Amino acid sequence: MRDPIETLLREHAGIMGQVAELRRAVRDLGERGDAAVGEALPVLRSVGRMMETDLARHARKEDEALFPALEAIFGSEGTPTQVMRREHEAIHARAALYRETVRELHEVEHPAIARQGGAVRTLAARGGSAAEIHRSAEEVIRILDEHFGKEEAILFPMARQVLGPEALARIAGRMEEIEVEARR
């Protein structure tokens, strides 16, 4: 079975690889100002496209496959077996924090990322001043660094702790369906 968390981490790395170009563009805009706009716009355009395709698909996998599986655990007051209960005691004690983290990623940050993708596309299409492009690119980088950081530091490790092989297999299956749907 493919580990769905590994898949999501690999996608983070791929997306951040594309964002690396944007970091260079931001540095360039800072150093050369308007002279760097011509080179920055195509980068902005391709990152905007990436946010609306690769990144949107990635977020869908989390929203529709991973998060519901975690919500099913942290949101329910079920009666797991004694062993599970002991194992997960520490985690369940922090369930409120985790629930809040999932909610934030799901309902606040993903929509914010989607909005920023739209803003970048608009800016790339109409052009803009060095300052404007700089601001927008920095916002994308900030949002993604923070969001991926939170997922990698909190959400993914906790998913690994609480999800059993069956849940992971279900998540992987659902993620593959999303992948197929997106490619149609």
Chain residues 42-61 in contact with Fe ion, contact rule CB under 5 A: 59
Nearer to Fe ion, 28 or 151 (CB): 151
Q: Are residues 29 and 137 in contact, defined by beta-carbon separation less than 8 angstroms? A: yes
Least Å distance, CB 59 to Fe ion, is: 5
Q: Does residue 28 belong to the site contacting Fe ion (CB under 5 A)?
A: no
What b/e string do you get for 20-56 counting C-beta neighbours within 10 Å, with b at 16 or more? Answer: ebbbebbebbeeeeeebbeebbebbeebbbbbeeebe
User: How many Å apart are CA 59 and CA 115, to the nearest integer?
Assistant: 13
Binds Fe ion (CB under 5 A): choice among 28, 43, 44, 62 = 62
Chain residues 137-166 in contact with Fe ion, contact rule CB under 5 A: 151
Chain residues 86-105 in contact with Fe ion, contact rule CB under 5 A: none
Query: Kindly report the CA angle at 146 between 135 and 7, in degrees rounded to 5?
Result: 120
Nearer to Fe ion, 37 or 59 (CB): 59
Nearer to Fe ion, 20 or 125 (CB): 20
Nearer to Fe ion, 36 or 140 (CB): 140
Give the binding site for Fe ion (CB under 5 A).
59, 62, 151
